Amino acid sequence: MKARQVHLKRKTKETKIDLALNLDGRGKYKVSTTIPFLNHMLELLAKHGRFDLRINAQGDTHIDDHHLVEDIGIALGDAIAKAVGDKKGIHRYGNFYLPMDESLSYVALDLSNRPYFVWKVKWTKSDIGRFDGMLLEHFFESVAASARMNLHMSLKYASSPTTSPRASLKGSRAPFRRPSPGTPAPKASLPPKASCRASFVLGKTCP
């Protein structure tokens, strides 16, 4: 079985990113983005998605976090697209509800080779320490566009300004771990480049 792993670098006027992704890893991570909350979220994404992720990223965060958050999303989406390759043997669709205390989030994805993003999240308060939670929307939009996937994210309800963003992001990571090895993949019905099933891009390859 071909390893689904990628190492890439992205450099712009505002940012510099070195990223390594192994979709068939064990949840190991080493993340340094100079943005503490983003570090935390990416670490959780890798840990509970059961893929290995290494990111070393710097940017013009002395101005604001926007460029670095966006470019990390672009780089991660690009890595996902490259790692899944022709998508053979993995489920194409995935969805998941995730409760977190008083919050409930829902995420659905189609690895369709057609980028589309829907964000149905309303914050009671978007500031998380010094991080602007509003940037999470742009982060996932960048991931979806670069990975060429349909990604729908919804926060059904929440009251805490701290659990709201975490529920949304954790909801996005949970489906990544499916299907487990051994799950049979149904026959594809789409054209070759958009076919073969994939459960949330980061799901384990089926035999």
Residue where the block lists tokens 């489906």: 175
pLDDT for position 203: 45
User: Which two three-digit tokens encode residue 21?
Assistant: 């992704």
pLDDT for position 146: 96
Burial class (CB in 10 A: 0-12, 13-18, 19+), 159: exposed
Distance, in Å, from the CA atom of 23 to the CA atom of 82, rounded to the nearest integer, reads 11
Distance, in Å, from the CA atom of 96 to the CA atom of 106, rounded to the nearest integer, reads 6
pLDDT along the chain (207 residues), means of 10: 85 97 92 94 86 96 94 96 81 82 86 92 77 90 94 83 62 50 42 35 42
CB distance 198 to 147 below 8 Å: no
| 166 contact partners, CB below 8 Å, separation of at least 6 | 41, 100, 103
* Rg from Cα positions in the chain: 16
Backbone φ/ψ region at 85: left (φ over 0), alpha (ψ -120 to 50), beta: left
User: Which two three-digit tokens encode residue 72?
Assistant: 């990390």
CB distance 176 to 201 below 8 Å: yes
pLDDT for position 171: 59
Beta strand pairing call for 29-32 and 52-59: parallel
My answer on whether omega of the bond before 181 falls inside 30° of 0, hence cis, is: no
Please give the domain boundaries of the chain with CATH numbers for all domains: 5-194 (3.30.230.40)
Angle at 141 between CA 70 and CA 187, to 5 degrees: 130
User: Which two three-digit tokens encode residue 203?
Assistant: 């799901």
CB distance 58 to 165 below 8 Å: no
